[in-house]
A = this chain, B = another copy of it.
Amino acid sequence: MKTLIIIAHPESRDSNTQQFLISSVEALDKVDIHYLDENTVNKSEDQKLVLSYERIIFQFPMYWYSAPYQLKKWIDEIFDDSFIKNLKGKELGLVVTMGLSKEDFSAGRSEKFTLSEIFRPFEALANKCQMTYLPIFPVDLFSYLKEEDQKKLLVDYQIYVSNENNHSFKSKETWFLNRLKELSGKNKLNKEQVNHVIESLTNNRDTLDDLLILVQEMRSGDE
């Protein structure tokens, strides 16, 4: 599965948060980045580009409850009825950076509406294109996070953009294992340490599998 991250940020080079996110995925083999601020829109080329990926991510800062206009301009210019037929079955994800806490987005809070509601136009677009709409990945107040929490977020982000199945815990684990094996193969990590981590993850996984089977048996007994 290949992922294209489309970045709609008027000044992504000057944004610390964007730079952190981008540098965390640059090493991933099957992830590419396309900047909307630097490329002029070329309808047929951009259409071809999008069609060569299975997962499309729109990554942008929230400006006035939507993406910066550059993303809408790009959509208005390259989307048409024949193009969207070819998007069927692909995935659409949103990575939204914001200067407010995600807790502020709910009924009774200052922003009143949830992020799911605010980004409904993208969900409606995914629906129209018969794409699978992924859960939104909010990045709120990144600069205020402790270093450890930033690192955790970056790992979750790597998983969001490149994990085959976003919804399953088991596949998240598989993602970790593959990633470790990859890095180990490239001699970027100490081999012994890596093998130790892989071994312990694999053991945990076997235990987890056993537990899952047990839970399933208990459930079927209930019915």
Contacts and interface: CB of A to CB of B under 8 A. Distances in A.
Given A72-B72, A73-B73, A65 B111 contact: no
B112 A65 contact: no
B69 A66 contact: no
A99 to B, nearest CB: 11
Contacts of A63: 76
B79 A75 contact: no
A125 interface: yes
A122 B117 CA distance: 11
A65 B118 contact: no
A144 interface: no
Interface residues of A, number: 26
Given A73-B73, A118-B120, A120-B118, A65 B125 contact: yes
A66 B66 contact: yes
Contacts of A79: 64
A117 B118 contact: no
Interface in A59-83: 63-70, 72-73, 75-76, 79
B113 A124 contact: yes
Contacts of A67: 72
Contact of A121 (B69, B121, B125, B128): B121
Contacts of A64: 72, 75-76, 79, 121, 125, 128
A127 interface: yes
Specify which of A73, A111, A117, A120 lies most central, judged by the most chain B CB atoms within 10 Å of its CB. Answer: A120
Nearest to A112: B127
A76 B65 contact: no
A49 to B, nearest CB: 18
A129 B127 CA distance: 30
Interface of A: 63-70, 72-73, 75-76, 79, 111-113, 117-118, 120-125, 127-128
10 contacts: A64-B72, A64-B76, A64-B125, A65-B120, A65-B124, A69-B73, A72-B72, A111-B124, A117-B117, A117-B120
